[in-house]
Structure 1
Amino acid sequence: MIDLAHTPVTSVPGVGPKRAEELKKLEIESVADLLGYFPYRYDDFRVVDVAEAVHDTKVTLKGSIYGTPSIRWYGRKKSRLTARIDVNGVYVKVVWFNQAFLKKKMKTGETVVVSGKWDAHRLQLTADRTWFGQESEKHVGRLEPVYSVTSSLSVSWLRKTIYGAFAAFGREIEEVLPQKLRSRYRLLDRARAMYYLHFPKGREEGVQARRRMVYEELFLYELKLLWHRKQEKAADKGMTRRLDHEKLDRFIESLPFPLTGAQRRVVEEIVRDMADESRMNRLLQGDVGSGKTVVAAIALYANWLSGFQGAMMVPTEILAEQHLRSLKELLAPTGMNMILLTGGMKAKEKREALSQIQMGLADVVVGTHALIQEDVIYRSLGLVITDEQHRFGVRQRSKLREKGETPDVLHMTATPIPRTLAITAYGDMDVSVIDEMPAGRQPVETYWVKSDVWSRVVEFIGKVCRTGRQAYVICPLIEESEKSDLQNAQAVFEEIAEELAPIRVGLLHGRMSPAEKDEVMRSYAAKEIQILVSTTVVEVGVNVPNATVMVIYDADRFGLAQLHQLRGRVGRGGGQATCVLVADPRSETGIERMRVMCETTDGFEISQKDLELRGPGEFFGVKQSGLPEFKVADLLEDFKVLELARADAAEILEATDWEEAPEYRPLREYLDRFQKEQAKFD
């Protein structure tokens, strides 16, 4: 068979060098690229009866010209052509704008097919496509594909060219899916599915074609992902360690609180990975307050029992100090030596820390990106933990991992990722989820108010702070902008400080130096500041148990996941906490966000809704998403297919005859091509 992936698009009839250059802008360079360039929608030219036509939709009617058409001119070029057509005894008024030339083609009694927007109340159709006599037979009854094109290519030319490509090369399209999978799901063969996706005769053909190609796309993606992971695991052996399960169990039982069922489950998954000869690469997801830190402490203790050092990297110095305090509280009875390493340490403190790390006297090192600097030498690094892993670049995370020979890696995040995306975005990791909150933690009560009651919100903040509690007030901007009406942190800070004096108010924003930020946060944590007015720099990781009020101004301008993270800063010390969303939404999306926040505190439910409202690209941020761009599949709509495809890909890779069975040859060749492509970038 011909290799269509390496057959230039100029082999297709009608495609010369000039056209090939235009197609290249659409990333079409081979015949395979052209055949796989699917339409984004279809124009439906299937004729319906007047009784079936749905108001305010695009419909196609077939009838005969009745009476004499009339034209009304607006200036020299604009016109309105009107005619009546007889559609099975019903007289329909048809209007054409700026198509006066059509009047010459209209003869009483002649057959005409018109397609356009239908007004059922007036029995009127505003036409955008018209065919007379036998010409209509080419189009009537068809779903016509519509493609994205450049300004130099027309949709009709591309449609005709793709049709010609199928005529010339359709028989060369090779099947990639094994027969057992096609039979299991009753899928069309590949060539027919690709053709029907371009040129379906009816809805059923289109549905079956899409069903086949969605499965193929997701299956090949998962096969590639799982195979790559399998290759990495085989080549990347982890360290040999003996875990003392008895001591580990005794430590867990000695904790001042019982683990939740979810915590026990993820601890088992992590410990199992650490005992395995392959290197652990696991993502631990847990909602705000779900107890990820204690899981990390257990992993660090297990690592220490087996004779290795552990390191935890976090985004900020204040968070590093906070984590160190938490770990010391949990691990104090074990006798482990835990130290801090940050860029802001004094030279003498840093030299002492580096010496302890290199000599192996430091059992656990908690710090910022200072942990990956060249002068940091670990004696026996066995476990690397990154907290809020999405805040670090890929290179930063890998540099910490490279500080040891083959350390196990545990990534943690409090940003819940729906399973819809976790399977794709984090396909190179195993995923553990803490989906249960510790007993006794009360949900934060959330209220949405309009900005016209702001003065009452300020009164409420003052009332709470006079009882000894603390509050956050979050604003989207730092200072006033003429281009924006969003509330700004500087103005709110000045207003609250004046209104609620002598209550101490602090200001925190991204333009401050790291030292200034740390000083403000230390003052807030020490209760020297009672109200902190801030931008979103407090979104992740800050832990002030005494804070019970979170006020978010212009809340509708934030994403749901971000609002949930901000809300998670309060209610961390027991007792009832309150979140007030101050917003005047101008869109349905903004209103929906406020409604969701008031109705649920479940981070995974919120993240799923956020995904539905914003889509995968925006959910992650387009540049950093790492998500594949599927031609046909939709991650939200086709998630169940994704799960099936993943299970099927795993089954085939584990098959005893995977390496030699003829039916798997196309898949092995596909993976071989993938490996060669990857090698270009290594």
Structure 2
Amino acid sequence: MRPNLLDPLFAPAASLPGVGPKTGKLLDRLLVEASGQDASRGTSHARVVDLLFHLPHATVDRRNRPKIADAPLDQIVTIEAKVVDHQPPGPRSKAPYKVLVEDETGDILLVFFLANPQWIERSLPLGETRWVSGKLELWDGHRQMVHPDRVLDAAGLAKLPPVEPVYGLTEGLYQKILSKAIAAALTRLPVLPEWHRYEAVELPNMLSFGEALKRVHEPQDPADIAPMSPARLRLAYDELLAHQLSLMLVRASMRQRGGRAHEERGEIAAKIAAALPFALTGAQVQAREDIRRDLTAPTRMLRLLQGDVGSGKTVVALFAMAHVVEAGRQAALMAPTEILARQHYEGMAGLTGAAGLRLALLTGRDKASERARTLAALAAGEIDIVIGTHALFQEAVSFRDLGLAIVDEQHRFGVHQRLALGEKGAAVDILVMTATPIPRTLVLSYFGDMDISTLREKPPGRQSIDTRALPLDRLDEVIERLAEAIASGARAYWVCPLVAESEELDVAAAEERFDLLSQFFGNKVGLVHGKMKAQDKDRAMARFATGETQILVATTVIEVGVDVPEATIIIIEHAERFGLAQLHQLRGRVGRGSAKSSCVLLYKTPLGETAKARINVMRETQDGFLIAEEDLRLRGEGEVLGTRQSGAPGFRLAQLDVHGDLLALARAEAQQVMSANPKLEGEAGQALRLLLYLFERDAAVKLLQAG
């Protein structure tokens, strides 16, 4: 149970004074729906803590209070002046309402378009002194301020924050309303005990957690909200510590519950090896050995297998599953999409058949009778290996004896989903695979609870890919070159842009490009996008795989795992809108066969600095690990792993591209805690439990109670 001390923070934001139902809905949209968090936490309502964790991204400095003659132009100034003249527009005139104000050094015209005359007369009474704050401009040789941000009397000035925070908004929500809600949220912040042992942490000018939150929301200086300010460092560090500690508790709990040693003679593995058309790379052999050692040990395996595009992770996974099956247990592989699950199934069917393994596929759209048969066979132990989507961890799915759960593209699932699959059997070993090479800081933050195997070598026969970049206005030329390639039998992907965050717009862009290419290539063009029915998607993929269509127009649904070795060309439109890791993933769809492959990046001019840097990196290297480090440097962690929509730990107060160095510090402190107080007991332990609840790492605390 969450400690009562934190209850005020987890109350609905709509319960705060001044936040009615209408503002409450806008806060839900801003703080929950837009951040993609409702899926992972099971509620779509914003809470007080969500407001507190919504940090400002800029400030308005209202400390500059000069005389009129000294006031700089095109900057925010706050000026004390006497109201000397009102100049209302004539009846039916569209001219602005003007008010002349002055001090002993000069005067300013305040200009109001489409304004409410009563409000102006009330706020700026003739002969009275008022403070006005806004941007000063020169118009026709006269100083003016259009729509001042603030018009205040002496009492209003006393309440004016010298530095105002500026927050991200959603349509219909205004800075003033959001600032008031956050001010009300700050009053609900309880006094929290200190959870750090100061000798373990060396942060400059260490503030308490509560002081740090107040400093960021009530800055006295614009520097207070900077990512490296003492307040931001403290908040980021707390979030990273909560995360590292929760990962270690998960790990300790798995270790504590013990595993089962899987003994194998290697007979099934030998049959698979004999059926393979190639020899394993050194990296594959090493990874296979790491996993074999884990599986034969009496502790539970929790290992990340990361490799670049096409480094051969699936084969390593198959050997792991064969090991467990030979020891008399079952294995499951969970993929993020049906396309990928089906592809794993088809790719493994030949090898499992040769080795005498019983393989099944379970997805969300199996017919009811078919599904019932698969579930019964799984429960009876008549299936050795099952491949599926997240349908695998639904309650209806039970195994006779699950020994190994493999999760593909882990960052698309949250830790809780990984654990849910691990609960499907007694002491299930877990292997996580990703084809997104992950920078070191992100490996620590997302997979800090795991041992890691890395595949850096490409299997023999993998071709290097010729990568070129061209402006979009040379589209005709690209289509001409494509026509030559298609005439000689080539197959090509044409990837359409990521349009803002709207799947509808992505689809529209893909359909438009499909129509254009169909005019040139007729029925040789296929289309696949995320809004299509699953069977239509599969049919389009199958027609491309068999060569019935030679060009596949697609949105980014083809990004991960699609495997058509005959495809040798990929054209990525609006490449400037994609992140580096995503461009690299997409490029990895070609270069899978023996023929020479090429990738064309089409971009819209003029290119911004970041987009230019990304495209240069793509042209210079095909090393996914190098690309991942660059991507983190250029963009920040949320986008690198695509976690904004995925329930993985997209941090709210920490920015890994800026605060990455704090991660090692947080990890070291979490390790000290785990060796000194693994059950989080006593006063120090209670404070750390509060930290875990505050950052919603409840699952980790529950493990403590269960263990």
Q: Same fold (TM over 0.5)?
A: yes
SS of the residue aligned with 2:655?
Answer: coil
SS of the residue aligned with 1:616?
Answer: helix
Q: Could you tell me which residue of structure 1 aligns to residue 36 of structure 2?
A: none
Q: Relative to 1, partners in 2 of residues 1:652 and 1:186: Cα closer, same or farther, differing over 3 Å?
A: farther
Is 1:550 the counterpart of 2:574? The answer is no
SS of the residue aligned with 2:262?
Answer: coil
Residue identity in the other structure for 2:110: W
How far apart, CA to CA, are the structure 2 residues paired with 1:497 and 1:600?
A: 32
How far apart, CA to CA, are the structure 2 residues paired with 1:119 and 1:220?
A: 48
Paired residues for 1:218-237 under 5 Å: 218-235=240-257, 237=258
Deviations 1:388-408 (A, max 9, x none): 456789999778656643332
SS of the residue aligned with 2:145?
Answer: strand
How far residue 433 of structure 1 moved from its aligned partner, in angstroms, is: 4.2
How far apart, CA to CA, are the structure 2 residues paired with 1:230 and 1:155?
A: 41
Is 1:338 the counterpart of 2:357? The answer is yes
Is 1:572 the counterpart of 2:595? The answer is no
How far residue 509 of structure 1 moved from its aligned partner, in angstroms, is: 3.0
How far residue 570 of structure 1 moved from its aligned partner, in angstroms, is: 1.0
Q: Could you tell me which residue of structure 1 aligns to residue 6 of structure 2?
A: 5
Q: Relative to 1, partners in 2 of residues 1:449 and 1:209: Cα closer, same or farther, differing over 3 Å?
A: closer
How far apart, CA to CA, are the structure 1 residues paired with 2:179 and 2:381?
A: 71
Residue identity in the other structure for 2:597: A
Q: How does the TM-score come out when normalised to structure 2?
A: 0.69
Q: Could you tell me which residue of structure 1 aligns to residue 481 of structure 2?
A: 460
SS of the residue aligned with 1:488?
Answer: helix
How far apart, CA to CA, are the structure 2 residues paired with 1:626 and 1:83?
A: 55
Equivalent position to 2:281, from 259, 263, 286: 259
Equivalent position to 2:431, from 405, 410, 432: 410
| % same residue | 31
Residue identity in the other structure for 1:97: V
Equivalent position to 2:235, from 205, 213, 219: 213
Deviations 1:151-193 (A, max 9, x none): 8985786688678x59xx98x5432322323556651244544
Q: Could you tell me which residue of structure 1 aligns to residue 63 of structure 2?
A: 46
Equivalent position to 2:110, from 96, 102, 121: 96
Contact between 1:218 and 1:645, CA under 8 Å: does it hold in 2? yes
Is 1:491 the counterpart of 2:515? The answer is yes
How far apart, CA to CA, are the structure 2 residues paired with 1:395 and 1:9?
A: 21
Q: Could you tell me which residue of structure 2 aligns to residue 539 of structure 1?
A: 559
Equivalent position to 1:291, from 297, 300, 312: 312
Contact between 1:473 and 1:551, CA under 8 Å: does it hold in 2? yes
How far apart, CA to CA, are the structure 2 residues paired with 1:160 and 1:655?
A: 39
Is 1:444 the counterpart of 2:465? The answer is yes
Q: Relative to 1, partners in 2 of residues 1:648 and 1:361: Cα closer, same or farther, differing over 3 Å?
A: same
Residue identity in the other structure for 2:61: D
How far apart, CA to CA, are the structure 1 residues paired with 2:472 and 2:698?
A: 58
Contact between 2:494 and 2:570, CA under 8 Å: does it hold in 1? yes
Residue identity in the other structure for 2:207: L
List alignment gaps of at least 5 residues for structure 1: 499-503
Deviations 1:190-242 (A, max 9, x none): 4544544444544676632332233223323432343244335434x322234
Residue identity in the other structure for 1:337: G
Q: Relative to 1, partners in 2 of residues 1:405 and 1:619: Cα closer, same or farther, differing over 3 Å?
A: closer
Residue identity in the other structure for 1:273: D
How far residue 438 of structure 1 moved from its aligned partner, in angstroms, is: 5.0
SS of the residue aligned with 2:403?
Answer: strand
Taking only aligned residues, the RMSD between alpha carbons, in angstroms, comes to 6.0
How far apart, CA to CA, are the structure 2 residues paired with 1:485 and 1:346?
A: 33
Q: Relative to 1, partners in 2 of residues 1:481 and 1:43: Cα closer, same or farther, differing over 3 Å?
A: closer
Q: Could you tell me which residue of structure 2 aligns to residue 126 of structure 1?
A: 145
Is 1:79 the counterpart of 2:97? The answer is yes
How far apart, CA to CA, are the structure 2 residues paired with 1:468 and 1:443?
A: 20
Contact between 1:617 and 1:625, CA under 8 Å: does it hold in 2? no
Contact between 2:402 and 2:426, CA under 8 Å: does it hold in 1? yes
How far residue 319 of structure 1 moved from its aligned partner, in angstroms, is: 1.1
Deviations 1:494-536 (A, max 9, x none): 33435xxxxx83525358776666566556545x536133324
How far apart, CA to CA, are the structure 1 residues paired with 2:456 and 2:446?
A: 19
How far residue 655 of structure 1 moved from its aligned partner, in angstroms, is: 1.6
Residue identity in the other structure for 2:298: E
Is 1:529 the counterpart of 2:548? The answer is yes
Residue identity in the other structure for 1:96: L
Structure exhibiting the larger radius of gyration computed from Cα positions: 1
How far apart, CA to CA, are the structure 2 residues paired with 1:30 and 1:463?
A: 59
How far apart, CA to CA, are the structure 1 residues paired with 2:533 and 2:59?
A: 55
Task: Say which is worse superposed, 148-157 or 458-467, in terms of deviation.
Answer: 148-157
Contact between 1:420 and 1:635, CA under 8 Å: does it hold in 2? yes
Q: Relative to 1, partners in 2 of residues 1:437 and 1:69: Cα closer, same or farther, differing over 3 Å?
A: farther
Q: Could you tell me which residue of structure 1 aligns to residue 194 of structure 2?
A: 175
How far apart, CA to CA, are the structure 2 residues paired with 1:29 and 1:508?
A: 39
Q: Relative to 1, partners in 2 of residues 1:562 and 1:60: Cα closer, same or farther, differing over 3 Å?
A: same
Paired residues for 1:488-527 under 5 Å: 488=512, 490-492=514-516, 494-498=518-522, 505=524, 507-509=526-528, 521=541, 524-526=544-546
Q: Relative to 1, partners in 2 of residues 1:453 and 1:39: Cα closer, same or farther, differing over 3 Å?
A: closer
Contact between 1:54 and 1:120, CA under 8 Å: does it hold in 2? no
Residue identity in the other structure for 2:314: T
Contact between 1:9 and 1:20, CA under 8 Å: does it hold in 2? no
Task: Say which is worse superposed, 370-379 or 173-182, in terms of deviation.
Answer: 370-379
Contact between 2:84 and 2:127, CA under 8 Å: does it hold in 1? no
Is 1:627 the counterpart of 2:649? The answer is yes
Contact between 2:357 and 2:385, CA under 8 Å: does it hold in 1? yes
Q: Could you tell me which residue of structure 2 aligns to residue 501 of structure 1?
A: none
SS of the residue aligned with 1:295?
Answer: helix
SS of the residue aligned with 1:625?
Answer: coil
Equivalent position to 1:640, from 657, 661, 676: 661
Task: Say which is worse superposed, 143-152 or 541-550, in terms of deviation.
Answer: 143-152
Task: Say which is worse superposed, 402-411 or 245-254, in terms of deviation.
Answer: 245-254
Is 1:116 the counterpart of 2:134? The answer is yes
Q: Could you tell me which residue of structure 1 aligns to residue 38 of structure 2?
A: none
How far apart, CA to CA, are the structure 2 residues paired with 1:135 and 1:370?
A: 61
How far apart, CA to CA, are the structure 1 residues paired with 2:465 and 2:58?
A: 45
Q: Relative to 1, partners in 2 of residues 1:374 and 1:339: Cα closer, same or farther, differing over 3 Å?
A: farther
Contact between 1:9 and 1:34, CA under 8 Å: does it hold in 2? no
How far residue 116 of structure 1 moved from its aligned partner, in angstroms, is: 2.9
Q: Relative to 1, partners in 2 of residues 1:143 and 1:238: Cα closer, same or farther, differing over 3 Å?
A: same
SS of the residue aligned with 1:338?
Answer: coil
Paired residues for 1:643-654 under 5 Å: 643-654=664-675
How far apart, CA to CA, are the structure 1 residues paired with 2:679 and 2:396?
A: 47
How far apart, CA to CA, are the structure 1 residues paired with 2:660 and 2:444?
A: 10
How far residue 35 of structure 1 moved from its aligned partner, in angstroms, is: 8.3
How far residue 577 of structure 1 moved from its aligned partner, in angstroms, is: 0.9
Between 1 and 2, higher relative CO (CA 8 Å, sep ≥ 6) is seen in 2
